[in-house]
Amino acid sequence: MVRVADTLSSAKPKASGRRRGRIVFWVIFAVAAVCFIVSVLWFRSIARSYYQPSFAMENSIQPGDRMFVDTGLDVRHGDLVILSLPQSGTGALPYVRRVIGLQGDRVACCDASGRVTVNNKPLSESYVYPGDQPSIAPFSATLGKGQIWVLGDHRSIAIDSRMWGPVPAADVVGRVAAISRGISLHFLSTPQTFITAGLAPPDGRTPNFIWPVVLNLLATLALLILIVLGITRTVIRRRRQRRGTPPRPSLDAPTVFP
């Protein structure tokens, strides 16, 4: 025997299940949206970014590239760093240069092969702009406490320690950990020449801003998936409504007996 009450009662769990599904969907969507907002605010609070205006660091950094700076104090040989150097009458200007020597090092140019040396260890500087010499003008300096020696990669046009002399390490804002060029994001590591010369260990450093970036990517992916699912469910539901659904049994309908 089939009764109308049995038919109606079977529809109630389905409707309840749909309501629970909608609640779960919107809860997950809200959590993903909050994570996205938090990741953006978190990134802005710990990461500094600069745009490269000059040709002094070609080809490592091109004019217009956006540089993301890790403000930690772990600066090594070969790092690209942002320097805030005092300039008379204009305040402190930011420069990006490569760290060649650290406190206590003896830096010089050039050896018999025309290379820059650090503590008499020659550097094979593959990052120097094609066609440029390591340095046209010779130099030699022993760095005192709290001093570093920096050079631009485009040596023929860069203004750097060859003109300034040793730079105070206190003027380092942070190291350039990543470069954004167009839609690509490239993370930087220690050049192999400094590792081969024993001046720096293999680079395993993780920028402090990587975690909000990861959170942002995960939240963005979750939001995209949820949006696609929501649109798909809406389209399917509307198509079913257009086709028409069979009328629900009326409470006044007669009971059917076998």
> 94-141 pLDDT, tens per residue?
889 999 999 999 999 999 999 999 999 999 999 999 999 999 989 999
Q: Tens digit of pLDDT for each residue in 141-179?
A: 999 999 999 999 999 999 999 999 999 999 999 899 989
Domain-embedded: residue 253? no
The domain of 232 spans 4-44+214-243
The H helix count followed by the E strand count for the chain is 4, 12
- Higher pLDDT: 253 or 211? It is 211
What does the radius of gyration of the chain's CA atoms come to, in whole angstroms? 31
Average pLDDT over residues 235-258: 61
Average pLDDT over residues 229-243: 82
The rounded distance, in Å, linking the Cα atoms of 211 and 47 is 11
Domain-embedded: residue 61? yes
Same domain for 13 and 111?
A: no
Asked whether residue 11 carries a pLDDT value surpassing 60, the answer given is no
Same domain for 91 and 108?
A: yes
Same domain for 115 and 222?
A: no
Domain-embedded: residue 255? no
Q: Measure Cα distances from 14 to 3, 21, 234 in Å.
A: 18, 10, 17
- Of 47, 23, 61, nearest to 216 (Cα)? 47
Domain-embedded: residue 111? yes
Same domain for 180 and 198?
A: yes
Task: Report the pLDDT value the prediction gives residue 247, as an integer from 0 to 100.
Answer: 52
The rounded distance, in Å, linking the Cα atoms of 170 and 181 is 29
- Global pTM exceeds 0.75: no
Domain-embedded: residue 196? yes
Same domain for 74 and 129?
A: yes
CATH code of 116's domain: 2.10.109.10
Domain count, the chain: 2
Domain-embedded: residue 39? yes
Same domain for 116 and 222?
A: no
Domain-embedded: residue 251? no
